Amino acid sequence: MTLRAWRLAFKMQRLELLLFLSAAILLVVASLLIAWGASEARASFDACYQEQGTDIGCAASPSLNDFSTLGGFARLGAFLTPFALGLFLGVPVVAREIEGRTAGIAWTLSRSRSRWLIQRVLPLVVVAIVLAAAVGIGSELVTRTNPYADYAANPGFADYTSRGVLLPIRAIVVLLLAIAVGAMVPRQLPALLLAAGVTVALFVGVTIGMDAWMTSEARPIPFDESRFGPFGDGPRIFDVAYREDATGKVISMNDFYNQHGDVALPDGEQDPPGFTQVAIGIPGDQYWIWAMRESAILGVLAVAAGGLAALVIRRRRP
Amino acid sequence: MSRIGSWLILSFKLHRWEVLAAAAGVAILSAAMLWFTWQLRALSATDPGCVDPAAYAPGCSQLGQRFYELSSKAELLSYLSWLSPFVMGLVLGVPLVSREIEHRTAGLAWTLSRSRTWWLARRAAFLVLVLVVLLLVVAIVGEVLAFPQMPAQHLDRDFAWYGRRGGLIVVRGLAALGLGILVGAWLGRVLPALLVAIFASVLIFSGISLGMDRWMEGHAIVQAFDADRAGGRQLGERILLPSGELIDYGELQRRGLAYEVIQDDRLWARPEDIGHMDRLIGYDRYLVVPGSLYSQIVLDESAVVGGTTVLLALAAAAFVRRRRPG
Amino acid sequence: MSTEPILEAHDLAKRYGRRTWALTGIDLAIPQGGITALVGPNAAGKSTLIKTWVGFERPTRGNVTVAGIDPQKDRSSVLGLVGYVPQSPSLYDGLSIEDHLDLAVLLRPEFDRAYALRRLDQLGIPAGQGAKSLSGGQQAQVALALALGTRASILLLDEPLASLDPLARREFLHVLTDAVRSEGATALLSSHIVTDVEQACDRLVVLGVGKILLHDTVSDALATHWLATEGAATPAGAAIGSFGGPSGERLTLVRQPASSVGPDLRPASLEEVVLGYLASGRVVPGEAAA
């Protein structure tokens, strides 16, 4: 890609790109500030905790709560970023050319529409990757400094869909899908609505599929009563069950109640006699394996969406 | 055909994609919500005692679990109800002017019409009609679902699902429509205008929400840490100083009143101060708007959002009057 | 000028939807070199025919070729030979003219930017100007410059003159004829303004509603067509069609070699030739069955 190609790509979608650039910069800066503030608040909390040996009083520190809330907003922004980027940058690529009647010139100047598509899409792909990755890194820091968790070293599956490597790959899938929909319905707003619907359906499907896959490989994880909840390293939990202490056999809650009926718990105990509650899920240290698996699936979907876009554009009347 | 009939048909044709998409969205959402309503009611009818989360009844585990699962999913749907006025308002409002400019039809439309304000009013009136009808459905279905989802609560005096049920949904949709029209007229390009309108609506509605919270403090009562706050809307924690002054945690920090220990609802600087009332920093309290004020607060917020809508509509009309047709 | 056909259509029919036929079985062969005018009323199918050659439209029946290549089978090779000016050319609002030329270079590396720029310079259109601020005539000139910059041997121009004022039309045609003559290219120019194409074009194709009514050189068309006023004797089988004259009188177009023309007939102008043929082939649009 030459500098000229970049300049033209920018000029053709200047308004959208400027908006996204500004929004991404704001989000990243906000994330960094939240991460920094949360770290400071947490450091002072930890000092208080160590001094007292209890979190009574320290836990009431309002800044922990504030940074946790702000972090939630930042993560929501990060979660939405790939979808917004993909849809708003992808839909107009073909739809606007046809709606603005410029496709006639563009598609005859270029000998092949695939070449035209590559010239148009490549800069957008790079922009989408860079912005989504930047937002993903910002969000990663917010998660790692979550004041109510110990995720500094390994957040595991915490905030799985709003941070890290999945954001850029999601942005690419949505971008290519939106281009294909924009080519099929060459009016921008209807195409945007349809693309949004298709995107939701696709990602709900992927999430359900991934959850089913993970569930099939889930295993019992013992509760680890840390200060900030039962799990320290961010496992992905799908269910809770009972493990029979004597046999080590895991039984689902439903099966347990079916077999034993409602069991009165002894005073001060959380588990029925002879059983220990365990979580069923994937341990946090397997995050990268699953992130890569999901990335591979999304990569295949991106290739399919890109192929679909190219096919539709090849056959499209301008 | 009557003038109203032809106006309706023509207006529909000009916005058919958006209107159909909005109607389809509302139909799917409403159908899903009504299905959950039916399911939750059926569960309640099986054993009403098992769906009251406040009461533990033996033999309820399975039924309670099923109720919990269903009501959690119903709660997710209620967030779509909350989102629907913003999405529908913007999707219907943004293209009204911007698409005319982008397609270069504004010149024709604005010379055929007696005045641009008249043109805008006719076009916007149709969208208002569509939006009100569709959002009324969402608002009513939201109410219908809320009752079996929260069977133990008196929802006519409860802030639960605030903005996810009832008339506020319609009013918010109209404000979003006004905002969409204004931004569309300003930018004159559909997708960038939609993007800007989304950002602007986040800012405006967050501002209104924060402003309402601040304003509601005037109606709020101070409640003890362990008081029953059912139906009320919590505005946050406050510290009641021994002097009777009520301050928030930020103010407490600014005054240098550092505390290390909370015992029950009492804040102490150090553990050794506990019990020495002369060293007490203050009491931990909640600021709560009572549920009995729910209807009044909804009306108040509706008035604020309605006023904003009028301002946005006037700004849009002024903008269209001065706008170059592209 | 070679007589080898470079643009061909064989039994070409194109239907939109279920019932609307834009073309109803056209056979046409346009020879290489010179400018051919494709003249016809609105909805005659001119744009459809040109778009089929560019590969934008898929024939419902029959086929077309450009220099022997079927654009449906090898669109890329066809586009390499063709420069295209679409109907009411729309340029990118956000780009300057220079940007458009840069875009053309990106899309087609062999695009002759300097040549296109020179053409625009001759017309006094500044390259730095934004496309949005150009007049309709200037936009058409930019679109033509983009087509010429491809240095394609075939130029397909889809009613580029429609919205231009007389001066802009003249300038456009001047640039086009100059380029075609100097490069030895072939141009097909669709229009419904006959007086303009008369000066610029070598050949004339009259397209009725979906069918070819006349295909001839401009000089032969002028040399073999005559007008008979109401009451004048017309040779049997020579009358083409009748239409109303400027003062309401009935005029009949007659095709006859100059050697056998009687005293009642006067030479027809090119516009009258076209009117006579259009009158002969008048069909209600959309009803022409293939």
**A197 and A244 share one domain:** no
User: Number of folded domains in chain B?
Assistant: 2
**A16 and A132 share one domain:** yes
Within 217-246 of A, beta carbons closer than 8 Å to B belong to: none
pLDDT tens profile C202-253? 999 999 877 899 999 999 999 999 998 877 777 777 888 888 888 888 889 9
Decide if B45 is inside a domain: yes
Q: Looking at CA atoms only, how far is residue C242 from chain A in angstroms? A: 38
**B310 and B189 share one domain:** yes
- Sequence-ordered alpha helix ranges (H) in B103-189: 106-112, 116-149, 168-187
Please answer whether residues C67 and C186 qualify as being in contact, where contact means their C-beta atoms are separated by less than 8 angstroms.
no
pLDDT tens profile A99-154? 888 888 889 888 889 889 998 999 999 999 999 999 999 999 999 998 888 888 88
**B51 and B130 share one domain:** yes
Nearest Cβ partner for A12 among C79, C94, C146: C94
**B196 and B243 share one domain:** no
pLDDT at A82: 97
Interchain contact, A193 vs B18, CB within 8 Å: yes
**A173 CB neighbour count, 10 Å cutoff:** 27
Decide if A224 is inside a domain: no
> Is A269 at the interface with chain C, CB within 8 A?
no
Query: Which comes out higher in pLDDT, residue C160 or B307?
Result: B307
The 3-state DSSP class for residue A249 equals coil
DSSP β-ladder status, A275-282 and A250-252: unpaired
Which band of pLDDT confidence, cut at 50, 70 and 90, is reported for residue C284? Answer: very low
> Is A15 at the interface with chain B, CB within 8 A?
yes
Cross-sheet strand order for the sheet of C203-207: C82-85, C154-158, C186-191, C34-39, C203-207, C212-217
Say what percent of chain B tops pLDDT 90: 53
Decide if B44 is inside a domain: yes
User: Number of folded domains in chain A?
Assistant: 2
Mutation for A interface: C106, C139, C157, most A CBs within 10 A: C106
pLDDT tens profile B254-297? 777 777 677 778 888 777 888 888 888 889 888 999 999 999 99
Q: Looking at CA atoms only, how far is residue C90 from chain A in angstroms? A: 5
**B83 and B200 share one domain:** yes
**B177 and B309 share one domain:** yes
Interchain contact, A62 vs B195, CB within 8 Å: no
Among candidates A100, B293, B126, which has minimal Cα distance to C91? A100
Mean pLDDT on A155-166: 91
Interchain contact, A104 vs C89, CB within 8 Å: yes
Give residue B252's domain range: 233-289
Decide if B33 is inside a domain: yes
Residues in B closer than 8 angstroms to A208, CB to CB, are none
Q: Looking at CA atoms only, how far is residue B213 from chain A in angstroms? A: 16
**B73 and B103 share one domain:** yes
pLDDT tens profile B19-62? 999 999 999 999 999 999 999 998 888 877 777 665 556 667 77
**A276 and A290 share one domain:** no
Decide if B226 is inside a domain: no
Mutation for A interface: C57, C87, C103, most A CBs within 10 A: C103
Decide if A98 is inside a domain: yes
Decide if A230 is inside a domain: no
Interchain contact, B190 vs A100, CB within 8 Å: no
Closest residue on chain A to B259 (Cα): A57
Decide if A275 is inside a domain: yes
> Is A102 at the interface with chain C, CB within 8 A?
yes
Closest residue on chain C to A118 (Cα): C107
**A99 and A244 share one domain:** no
Among candidates C21, C15, C11, which has minimal Cα distance to C285? C21
Six-digit token pair at B41?
């009611």
**A16 and A84 share one domain:** yes
How far, in Å, CA of C52 to CA of C38, rounded? Answer: 14
Write out the E strands in chain C: 5-16, 20-31, 34-39, 61-66, 82-85, 154-158, 186-191, 203-207, 212-217, 225-229, 239-244, 250-255, 265-267
**B285 and B311 share one domain:** no
How far, in Å, CA of B108 to CA of B116, rounded? Answer: 11
Query: Nearest 5°: phi and psi at C288?
Result: -65, 115
**A243 and A181 share one domain:** no
Give residue A87's domain range: 3-216+286-315
pLDDT tens profile B79-131? 999 999 999 999 999 999 999 998 888 887 887 777 889 899 989 999 999 99
Largest CA distance in chain A: 81
Closest residue on chain B to A87 (Cα): B191
Q: What angle do CA A273, A278, A280 make, to 5 degrees?
A: 145
**A7 and A34 share one domain:** yes
**A148 and A258 share one domain:** no
B239-242 contact pairs (CB < 8 A, 24+): B239/B267, B239/B281, B239/B282, B239/B283, B239/B284, B239/B285, B240/B282, B240/B283, B240/B285, B241/B281, B241/B282, B242/B277, B242/B280, B242/B282
> Is A9 at the interface with chain C, CB within 8 A?
no
**A202 and A65 share one domain:** yes
Q: Where on the phi/psi map is residue A33: left (φ > 0), alpha (ψ -120 to 50), or beta?
A: alpha
Nearest Cβ partner for A105 among C82, C102, C143: C143
Decide if A228 is inside a domain: no
Among candidates C113, C163, A85, which has minimal Cα distance to B191? A85
pLDDT at A173: 97
How far, in Å, CA of B168 to CA of B159, rounded? Answer: 12
**B183 and B71 share one domain:** yes
- B22, HSE (Cβ side, Cα atoms, 13 Å): 32
**B187 and B262 share one domain:** no
**B19 and B75 share one domain:** yes
**A98 and A60 share one domain:** yes
**A41 and A180 share one domain:** yes
**B157 and B256 share one domain:** no
pLDDT at C287: 38
**Chains that contact A by 3+ CB pairs under 8 Å?**
B, C
Closest residue on chain A to B59 (Cα): A262
**B190 and B312 share one domain:** yes
The domains located in chain C, with CATH, are: 5-217 (3.40.50.300), 218-280 (no CATH)
Decide if B223 is inside a domain: no
> Is C73 at the interface with chain A, CB within 8 A?
no
Decide if B174 is inside a domain: yes
**A161 and A24 share one domain:** yes
